[in-house]
Chains A and B, each alone.
Chain A
Amino acid sequence: MSDARTAILGRLRAVGETGPLPALDTAVLERRQWPATERMARLRKGMEAVHAEFLEATPGTWPTVVRAFCEREGLRNLLFGPTSEAGSALAAAWGSGGTQLMPYDRPVEAFKEELFTDVDAGFTGTVGGVAETGGLLLTPGPAEPRLLSLVPPIHIALLRASTIQDSFWSAVKDLGWGRKLPPNALLISGPSKTADIEQTLAYGVHGPKRLIVVLVDDVH
């Protein structure tokens, strides 16, 4: 359809000189700044308001916290990315018995049906958080596949408090996403939800029914 392309761009170009560009005043975005401890509290408040759940942890204890949660909930298995930083640390500390760690180490086509029906929870790391509104930043990829945080009914995400940014705007700039983005990047603020029936909120419509944030306090 290169004809359509030429015709469309030709028409847009035919407009000619379109005038000066208006300036961008980003002061309203720059005002959104908080100290590290407040960022942690804001993120948590924002996410809890949309039903995300939090588990408190420290840099040394978080794998135990994840494990205890899985046992408490009686999860049969936990899907994870064995080569990611968070995933390998989790596997190293897991031990045997109870909830089975299940590596997402093959193409989805090899176990699609199983992924949709037999997985109880998925575990991922994050590359940051957003204090202003609450939210986690993820860059799924070879180490942590895209469906890990989407298909299982529970998503457990590891968040280090030191990586929480002021706003999505400052995160985009700080992480250099404008220069280079992986094939998929995500902001997740809570479990899947809808208000399409009479504006009544219902959780767990297509994606995870629960989002568990393991918040590692490395700022205090």
Chain B
Amino acid sequence: MPVEHEIHFRDSAAKALLDPQLRANFRRAMDGLMSKRLAQFPDPRDLQDLRDLSTAIRSRSLLNLPELLEQFEANCTRNGIQVHWAETCMEANELILGLLQSKGAKTLVKGKSMVSEEMHLNDFLEKHGIEALESDLGEYIIQLDGETPSHIIMPAIHKNKDQIARQFSQKIKDAKYTEDVDELTAMARKVLRQKFLDADAGLSGVNFAVAETGTLCLVENEGNGRMSTHVPPLHIAVMGLEKVVARLEDVAPLYAILTRSATGQAVSTYFNLITGPRGEGEKDGPQEVHLVILDNGRSRIYADPQLRATLRCIRCGACMNHCPVYTRVGGHAYEAVYPGPLGKILTPQMEGVGARHDLIHGSSLCGACAEVCPVEIPIPEILVRLRREATHEDAGSNVAGKGTGRTFSEDWAWRLWAMVHKRPSVYRLATWFATRFGKALPAGAPLIKDWTRSRSKPVPAPRSLSERMRAEGGPHV
């Protein structure tokens, strides 16, 4: 769902850079996450071997995607998990609303799910009179303030404990003001346990979907994912169609590299494998489990052999934690569900490369993201490809919004550039003028004002290189 107002990453990033509290909160968190990740990979050979294996597993999954999805669906169905397919976020929202309404459900507790953020499910359900309550502590914190996640793993990382303390004392009934993290956590526990107990339905995402067994795997530390999926009588899971993996044993290395890359943990507190609703003789667990498989542009991304690598992502967030841009501006500046380097390649492919032109250019292409990516997604290469797609309408391309990022001034600048460089006499004349009068050009002149916004004006040499070569007797150029 595209953002309604005009989006300028450059402006929102500039604003974020001026917020010292935000920058301090991110700096501290990202430094912590980077060093914890590094501590999990003491042996560079082990790390590279595990990355290669994980990349191969995800690549194989994608190469067999339609077959694996069918096998997965058949096994889920056999296990009693009811599978639904949705082409768009709106279809997925309608499906979930229909399921909830058919059970007369009024309250939904949610485990963390980025796909549900992609769908803007909470807003949609609220409009239809169903309370959708986030139960992951970070998600709960931001939901209290009506905010969106600023990080895909640590959604409330932009806030410090003083801000959370103030917020809890104002918004939670009978809560006293405290900055003690254990006490703040205990307050949320008290509120949310009652919600788990009372909820009519629970919703979760899916970290890995296993084709051979028809299993939904959930990775978490808090236990809210287990609460949301096992306590209410109805469990609805949502997943992007790329999440499927052939075998359960393939999930083990992906899980190992996911938690290490994400939060620097060797293992999460819980790894929850759900293969069906309450079975014969079972005394608890949901009576029904439904799964919604969402496309939302993924099959379009899949069609392109280079861009398909985007779908290898296991959503660890390491690219964000290591990105020199993200660590300084935080997640909200991107005005996208998925921020950071992953968001810069995924969001434009979902919402259109022209519409999110700002994101694909908001990168120095330093490559830190690709260096830490556990499944070796060549993010900088994909960014460069998308930059081309934004301004070209290549016949073979399938990219959403291709060519729509072309602007009159950029177009005109490149035409002029090509004209000058194709004609030696014009080129010589242009460089003669540039070297003699370039200094006199005001910093705010068109074309160079974008450069001088945050840098000093370049000073041209008094003579061009070819002039000097001629004057100093070098070979003719």
Contact = CB atoms under 8 A, between A and B. Distances in A.
A184 B275 contact: yes
Nearest to A135: B267
A172 interface: yes
A146 B230 contact: yes
Interface string A1-30: 110110111011111001101111111110
Given A24-B56, A107-B284, A193-B222, A198 B87 contact: no
B63 A21 contact: yes
Interface stretch (B156-164, B410-418, B466-474): B156-164
Contact of B303 (A14, A25, A150): A14
B53 A24 contact: yes
Given A181-B215, A198-B181, A23 B56 contact: yes
A141 B279 contact: yes
A197 B213 contact: no
Contacts of A7: 87
Contacts of A189: 267-270
A30 to B, nearest CB: 10
A169 B56 CA distance: 16
A34 interface: no
Given A25-B52, A27-B49, A184 B32 contact: no
Interface of B: 25, 28-29, 32-33, 46, 49-50, 52-53, 55-57, 59-60, 62-66, 69-70, 79-80, 84-87, 91, 95, 135-138, 141, 154-157, 160-161, 164, 181-182, 184-186, 188-189, 192-193, 196-197, 212-213, 215, 221-224, 226-227, 230-231, 241, 247-253, 255-256, 263, 266-285, 293, 295, 299-300, 302-303, 305
A31 to B, nearest CB: 8
A182 B256 CA distance: 22
A196 B213 contact: no
Contact of A186 (B56, B213, B270, B295): B270
B66 A13 contact: yes
A189 to B, nearest CB: 5
B274 A46 contact: no
B260 to A, nearest CB: 10
Contact of A142 (B141, B227, B282): B282
A28 B269 contact: no
Interface string A110-132: 00110010000000000000101
A133 B135 contact: no
Given A25-B53, A113-B197, A205-B189, A12 B66 contact: yes
Given A11-B299, A134-B267, A207-B270, 7 more contacts: A8-B241, A9-B69, A15-B303, A147-B284, A178-B213, A184-B274, A206-B196
Given A177-B248, A194-B185, A183 B66 contact: no
Contacts of A87: none
Contacts of B250: 24
Contacts of B64: 21
B257 to A, nearest CB: 10
B87 A178 contact: no
Nearest to B247: A178
Interface in A96-113: 104-108, 112-113
B283 A104 contact: yes
28 contacts: A1-B91, A15-B302, A21-B64, A25-B52, A25-B53, A28-B253, A112-B197, A130-B267, A133-B256, A141-B281, A141-B282, A145-B283, A151-B231, A168-B252, A169-B249, A172-B251, A178-B212, A181-B273, A183-B279, A186-B271, A189-B268, A191-B269, A193-B221, A197-B141, A200-B181, A205-B222, A206-B192, A208-B223
